[in-house]
Structure 1
Amino acid sequence: MFAVLLLDGRGTIVQANPAAENLFGQSEKRLAGKEAFALLNFENDRFRQQFHAGEVRLIARSVAAEVNDRRMSVNLTISPVGTDPSWYVMTISENIGNETGYAAEDRSLVGAPNILGHEIKNPLSAIRGAAQLLARKIGPGEMKLSDIITREVDRIADIIDRMQQLGSRGALDTRPSNLHGIVRNAIATVRAARSTTTEADAVIVEEFDPSLPPVLADAATLEQVLINLLVNACDASVDSHDRTVVVQTRYASGLSFKAIRFGRAVRLPIEIAVIDRGAGIAPGIAERVFDPFVSSKPKGQGLGLALARKLVEDMQGRISHTRDEKRGETSFRIHLPMAE
């Protein structure tokens, strides 16, 4: 959460959003009239000097500061308000973890979403904070506009978060896991989330092979992927005459899928399939369904399946999509390694 302050030309606080109240431990009323740089004590005084010297477009990352006797590392931006350059918006966010710089691999194209995300989130936070400040000053009739701004900013931030996941390189905690426990958790989550729908929803049917050995996977990540596939399948089934969504598990002993990753071949005999009988994915995008920003949904972002593929591959697995027109079925199949 970004703390946002509206400052006058002297650096005096005029307004503050709720995150700023939490950061400084004071209400907006108490913060008003105080100098921002007196509350946010930087080890290096150059930011105050630059601001008062007229260098008002400031961006700083991982800066040591002290707030209420608590030392922290913060990211800071100061920008003039476009309609009135005598007013400024300051955003402050606590730097959690090591963000002092981007590693060499993060400067590659794979790491581009992380870099882009950081650069976009700073102005977004200012927009959101300004909308929060505006909401305190306007009447009920204009609140709808403020809500729209906040909601749309949050939607964009969510897209950026998912883009950053696509570019992340974090190691997963793969270990021997109970596959059916993971699948049932995902099914229970989807059923609970869709239980309030007003229209007839899909019926999820389990077809499990109870003899399967433990799978080598990150349980939380695999559950996340399955929830995504199940939601997609249920959505696709809404307008179908057959709203059944089947979740199958089996040992693919006759298959020779291998993933060449981490310098070695990995056998992938454990299969999970999510099958629906909806209309299927539009033929024009079927071959690119796992690419970012490709979607057949009217309001789809095109990041869910791209992220699913990335997460499955991080678990040394494989995900594929097939359409059987004769049976009227769309299948998404995940193949994962068996635990030793």
Structure 2
Amino acid sequence: MNADEGSAEDALLCSPTPTFVLDEAGRVRRANMAGEALATASERVMRGRPLDDFLRFGEPAAALGARAEAAPFFAFDRRIELAQGPARDGDVAVAPLSTRPGWRVVAVHARPAPRRPRVRRPVDAAAVLAHEIKNPLSGIRGAAQLIEGAGEGGEMPRLIRQEVDRIAALLDRMEGLTDTRPLDCGPLNIHAVLRDVAALARQGYARDVAIDEAFDPSLPAVLGERDALVQLFTNLLKNAVEAAPRGPVQLRTAYRYGVGLGDGAGGRVALPIEAAVIDDGPGLPSAVAAALFTPFVTTKLNGSGLGLALADKLAADLGGVLEHARNEAAGRTIFRVRLRRAGADR
């Protein structure tokens, strides 16, 4: 590659739009920072691999490139499937690279993923109802303890207490969905939080499941609140263990440059810290996946449908976002939490 070729490619890659340089076979040769953020992979990882391994536009990238043999080609309103994130809608521009015969430049104008609505009004009403129900439950539990203490009623008092405790735990989770108090966030070591969550899991519901840790040791402090983070990742890890009871389940962290979210006022909040919970379970039906974070949506026979809804709310309360992705090629389900870095204004 001569100096002119290198400078031309460097100029293209300075664009804030996700941009990729492909060779004649549709393999990635260069990618800018915006492209790395969209694909959730570094240029080094992508180099030499087909762009289709990371992004799909409804047809192979090589086929799109063939349409731009002599002149630029534009594909509007395409569904952009991401290997490591939720699908997005957007436009794709493909143009020949004049300095390298057969090579193409692909620019992807992906529209931001819409923010999910937070808690819905029926859940607000349910939380009020939950508060009212808890008072008589306490009386029922106390009466069952008295009967049990008197040695009467056989097994029935114990069964009553168990059911009251189960209902009370469910009501607590419903109330948590509508807690609007701001979190007192500060700098935290996310790895310390994840290790505590994993240690607790190994003593209980994940006693027989391997939990692998793949942490980026250079990760800076996250801006968060410990109790909220513990609850968030406990819900995600428990969900992963239930989906893949034979394991393994993986906890993974990484730093993602350029990843962020609109703040609703024309600005952008950087969310470079990624913590993911990955399992090898069978995944979810598409109809359920589309409403995964909606309260009371579940595929579990005895599930409440509140665990992931609460995890989604906690991620938002922390100023971050919770994402779900399914990698069918690897047979993995990924729940990815993107969080703010401590000390960063944006």
Aligning the two structures, in what range does the TM-score lie when normalised by the shorter sequence? Answer: 0.5 to 0.7
Q: 2:137 aligns with which of 108, 116, 124?
A: 124
Q: 1:331 aligns with which of 330, 334, 338?
A: 334
1:277 aligns with 2:277: no
Aligned ranges for residues 223-234 of structure 1 at < 5 Å?
223-234=230-241
For residues 294 and 319 of structure 2, what CA distance do their matches in structure 1 show?
A: 19
Q: For residues 175 and 264 of structure 1, do their structure 2 counterparts lie closer, same or farther at Cα, with a shift above 3 Å needed?
A: farther
Aligned ranges for residues 145-164 of structure 1 at < 5 Å?
145-164=156-175
Deviations 1:146-179 (A, max 9, x none): 2111211111111111111111112212111111
What root-mean-square deviation, in Å, do the aligned CA atoms of Structure 1 and Structure 2 show? 2.2
Q: Is the 8 A contact 2:278 2:333 kept in 1?
A: yes
For residues 204 and 297 of structure 1, what CA distance do their matches in structure 2 show?
A: 22
The corresponding residue for 1:247 is 251
Q: 1:319 aligns with which of 319, 322, 334?
A: 322
Q: For residues 262 and 163 of structure 1, do their structure 2 counterparts lie closer, same or farther at Cα, with a shift above 3 Å needed?
A: farther
Q: Is the 8 A contact 2:123 2:295 kept in 1?
A: no
For residues 220 and 262 of structure 1, what CA distance do their matches in structure 2 show?
A: 29
- Provide TM-score, normalisation by structure 2: 0.60
Deviations 1:10-43 (A, max 9, x none): xxxxxxxxxxxxxxxxxxxxxxxxxxxxxxxxxx
- Segments of 5+ residues of structure 1 without an aligned counterpart are 1-107
For residues 111 and 263 of structure 1, what CA distance do their matches in structure 2 show?
A: 29
SS in 2 for 1:320: strand
Shift of 1:115: 2.1
Matched to 1:202, the amino acid is V
Q: 2:178 aligns with which of 163, 167, 191?
A: 167
Q: Is the 8 A contact 1:271 1:334 kept in 2?
A: yes
Q: Is the 8 A contact 1:217 1:315 kept in 2?
A: yes
Shift of 1:264: 5.6
For residues 147 and 193 of structure 2, what CA distance do their matches in structure 1 show?
A: 45
For residues 143 and 259 of structure 1, what CA distance do their matches in structure 2 show?
A: 59
Deviations 1:48-71 (A, max 9, x none): xxxxxxxxxxxxxxxxxxxxxxxx
- Segments of 5+ residues of structure 2 without an aligned counterpart are 1-120
The corresponding residue for 2:198 is 187
- Provide TM-score, normalisation by structure 1: 0.61
For residues 269 and 168 of structure 1, what CA distance do their matches in structure 2 show?
A: 26
Shift of 1:112: 3.1
Shift of 1:283: 2.9
The corresponding residue for 1:304 is 307
Q: Is the 8 A contact 2:214 2:253 kept in 1?
A: yes
The corresponding residue for 2:225 is 218
Matched to 2:256, the amino acid is A
SS in 2 for 1:168: coil
SS in 2 for 1:212: coil
Q: For residues 137 and 207 of structure 1, do their structure 2 counterparts lie closer, same or farther at Cα, with a shift above 3 Å needed?
A: closer
Give the ranges of 4+ consecutive aligned residues of structure 1 lying more than 6 Å apart after TM superposition: none
For residues 128 and 286 of structure 1, what CA distance do their matches in structure 2 show?
A: 37
SS in 2 for 1:211: coil
For residues 225 and 262 of structure 2, what CA distance do their matches in structure 1 show?
A: 17
For residues 227 and 295 of structure 1, what CA distance do their matches in structure 2 show?
A: 17
SS in 2 for 1:187: helix
Q: Is the 8 A contact 1:112 1:167 kept in 2?
A: no
Deviations 1:95-139 (A, max 9, x none): xxxxxxxxxxxxx76743442122111222232233233334563
Q: 2:209 aligns with which of 189, 197, 202?
A: 202
Matched to 2:242, the amino acid is D
SS in 2 for 1:294: coil
Deviations 1:233-286 (A, max 9, x none): 1222125xxx2211111111143x315269963211110111111111233311
SS in 1 for 2:284: coil
